[in-house]
Amino acid sequence: MQLQQFNSTQVKIAVPKETKLKECRVALSPDVVKDLIKKGFTVSLEKGAGEKSYYRDDVYTAAGAAIEADRKALFSNADIVMSVNAPSPEEIGWMKKEAVLISFMYAATHPELVDACVKAGISAFSMDAIPRISRAQKMDALSSQANLAGYKSVIIAADALGKIFPLMMTAAGTIKPSKVVIMGAGVAGLQAIATAKRLGAIVEVSDIRPETKEQVQSLGGKFIEVDFGEKLESTGGYAKTLTPEQAKKQQELIAKHVADADIVITTALVPGKKAPLLINEAMVKSMRNGSVIVDMAVEQGGNVSGSKMNENVVINGVKIIGESNLPSLLPLNASDLYAKNISTYLLHLATKDGFKWEMEEEITKGSLIVHKGTKK
């Protein structure tokens, strides 16, 4: 094991205020800050970093953290910068040589961030690249945030729909339950199923991975089966990309269910690639006036024809919600969970004395994007 020690007597962690549009999360919660300080680290946060997550600066100072008003100084003095979203290339350039950045990076689609890390001579770990293996579950921020996103997708769809979810019998007549179709039974999809069922809806679910059928049914959802003529294995928790023929076959079957749905929620993502189109223009137009679609993949290009990032559009009477950052709509929970994920990850990679750099260890190897200025 190669231990990288920093020049400072204590490893200095810096948490900047998030600047991405509509971002309300913060990388560390006060409780996690307190725990890291107990373990020998020092923590500084940019002034107001936790405001949108309902954490005031005084709560952080009470936990033992320092508050820094100068953003550039925060980056320049840090041994480790921990954030939700990656800093800009300019901000990465402020970091001192051999410092470490830990954040979501999505390196495959953001090469400019990788180049900035190489140029700055720093190391960078990406939270979205942590292997989805059992011993990394407590570090899996993709899953913790997707859980919240799945829940919130149903809540905002219910709010936009002009009818209730459950069966209701009244003196004036019986109200039929709403029908919700969910595309994708990953972490977000499964939470969406559970939430929609708790609200009383009829839930139908499509996923190309046959192994998800049992999970869908255990939550009370009806699994829509498509015969692709072969078993489509998943990799790292994601479905593989369909061939054009398979995609057409899926759409033909799904179209019937979509036309009868009150709400459709799409969750399909392919790592490093544009999200697959699941709901085409004809399928949108087939839905009843007043129906709602939530496109959870809108930031990666969208699963739905006509969806627009951070906009709600109406096509032929169907409202399409394109909220790009659903976890950020629940910033208190999202920040708490992310803070536990990233701190567990840090304590796997390092101690108060420095980074271990166990280069062949599975989690380190899978999530290290740049090492001391060299692209991995």
- Annotated active-site positions, please? 132, 137, 140, 143, 238
- Check if the beta carbon of residue 124 is closer than 8 Å to that of residue 101: yes
